[in-house]
Amino acid sequence: MNPSLSKFMLAHTPKSILNPTPTMTTSLPLNTGGSIPALGLGTWQSAPGEVKAAVIHAIEAGYRHIDCAHCYQNEDEVGAALKEVFERGIVKREDVFVTSKLWCTDHTRVEEGLDRSLKALGLQYLDLYLMHWPVPMNPNGNHPLFPKLPDGSRDIDHSLTHIQTWQNLEALASSSPSPKVKAIGVANYSVKYLTKLLEKAKIVPAVNQIENHPYLPQQEVVDFCKEKGIHVTAYSPFGSTGSPMMKEEKVQEVAKKHSVGAGTVLLSYHLARGSSVIPKSVTPSRIDENRKLISLDDEDMQKLEALHKEKGVTRFVYPPFGIDLGFSDKPGGMDLSG
């Protein structure tokens, strides 16, 4: 085609055609050659007794991505839900993207941690296995998940670093003949920790799952991940428990402009940035509502991107590890970056 004609057509093509409206099953590429569905169901703090119904409802409603973790203490119920949807023929195993995470007390026994999650979930393989935090904790402490020292602080295991944990995950991902994980990644990694990891890594993490919303855009992490080919998944998109971000005035203004709910704006913000997003709900009507995504325009994004400067950076999820994880909004603590 004549180059000036193609330039003209590009300039006059509606933006909606160039950037089609994302849908919940829009697939985003991973550096493994695979892909991840743009929207997943979160399961943290989804109580046993509620999470099975939530997962079944989500799959029936079209979700194809479930975010789990051993630490959530509900993987057996998620597994029961998956068993049911597979048996009822609603979806096949290969049509659902299942993520789980290696908990901090399992850094010295990654295969055991993985096998425990696979057993609870009733699966032969995971689509993605993440290191939940770059912080090893005592595997033989006074609590299986949250061991503490007598002074009440978290019982950190200083016998290994997150880099050794990553090397053990790499071995799992490259085991033959068929690895039990299709992809490995990390969560809660700052640029500082990622830089140290990449110096030694043979496999670049497929994903970095981080807290992300307009009060905590983490632009430096998102940009760094993009440069290194690491996909970002945004967690706590509504500001976690009680969804405080939904009340934000500017979010509501954007929602009103597009005649959608505040949740749609908060989820669509990540799609506009090339990230996937994993809202949690155990409420059927909200699980349905959270499927809706739209294309936000530059004006909307500018408004949302200015929010953390106007209101201050706010991080809703920051466990008391006592460790400096390299995030500029949370200085202090021991440096374990290696």
Ligand X SMILES: O=C[C@H](O)[C@@H](O)[C@@H](O)[C@H](O)C(=O)O
Ligand Y SMILES: NC(=O)C1=CN([C@@H]2O[C@H](COP(=O)(O)OP(=O)(O)OC[C@H]3O[C@@H](n4cnc5c(N)ncnc54)[C@H](OP(=O)(O)O)[C@@H]3O)[C@@H](O)[C@H]2O)C=CC1
Return the number of the residue (11 or 75) whose C-beta is nearest ligand Y. Answer: 75
Tokens of 108: 């010295």
Of 232, 242, 239, the closest CA to residue 276 belongs to 232
Percent helix, strand and coil across the chain, each rounded to 5? 40, 15, 45
Return the number of the residue (288 or 297) whose C-beta is nearest ligand Y. Answer: 288
Which parts of 215-234 interact with ligand Y (CB under 6 A)?
none
Which parts of 57-96 interact with ligand Y (CB under 6 A)?
67
Least spacing, CB of residue 245 vs ligand Y, in Å: 7
200, 244 Cβ separation under 8 angstroms: no
Least spacing, CB of residue 40 vs ligand Y, in Å: 8
209, 215 Cβ separation under 8 angstroms: no
Return the number of the residue (231 or 303) whose C-beta is nearest ligand X. Answer: 231
Using CA atoms, how far apart are residues 57 and 328, in angstroms rounded to an integer? 39
Beta strand ranges found along 109-171 (DSSP E) = 128-131
Q: Which of 30, 55, 71, 131 binds ligand X (CB under 6 A)?
A: 71
- The response to whether 143 counts as a known ligand-binding position is no
State yes or no: residue 44 binds ligand X (CB under 6 A): yes
Which one-letter DSSP state was computed for residue 171? H
Span from 41-49, 108-116, 172-180, 196-204 in contact with ligand Y (CB under 6 A) = 41-49
Least spacing, CB of residue 76 vs ligand Y, in Å: 16
Strand partners, 29: 35
Active-site annotation holds for 235: no
Choice among 63, 72, 235, 269 that is catalytic: 72
Least spacing, CB of residue 321 vs ligand X, in Å: 7
Q: Which of 76, 204, 317, 324 binds ligand X (CB under 6 A)?
A: 317
Q: Report the Cα 103 to chain-centroid distance in Å.
A: 15
Which run of H or of E encompasses 277?
A: strand 276-277
Q: Are strands 35-37 and 27-29 parallel, antiparallel or unpaired?
A: antiparallel
Least spacing, CB of residue 147 vs ligand Y, in Å: 18
Q: Please provide residue 286's backbone torsions phi and psi, each rounded to the nearest 5 degrees.
A: -75, -35
Using CA atoms, how far apart are residues 104 and 144, in angstroms rounded to an integer? 10
Of 185, 206, 180, 198, the closest CA to residue 35 belongs to 206
Return the number of the residue (135 or 197) whose C-beta is nearest ligand X. Answer: 135
Contact partner at residue 276 from ligand Y, ligand X, none, CB < 5 to 8 Å by partner kind: none
Burial class (CB in 10 A: 0-12, 13-18, 19+), 285: exposed
Return the number of the residue (180 or 315) whose C-beta is nearest ligand Y. Answer: 315
Q: Which residue is nearest to ligand Y (CB)?
A: 42
Q: Which residues are catalytic?
A: 72
Binding stretches for ligand X (CB under 6 A): 44, 69, 71, 317, 319
Q: Binding site for substrate, residues?
A: 132
Binding stretches for ligand Y (CB under 6 A): 42-45, 67, 132, 187-188, 209, 235-243, 246, 263, 278-283, 286, 289-290, 317
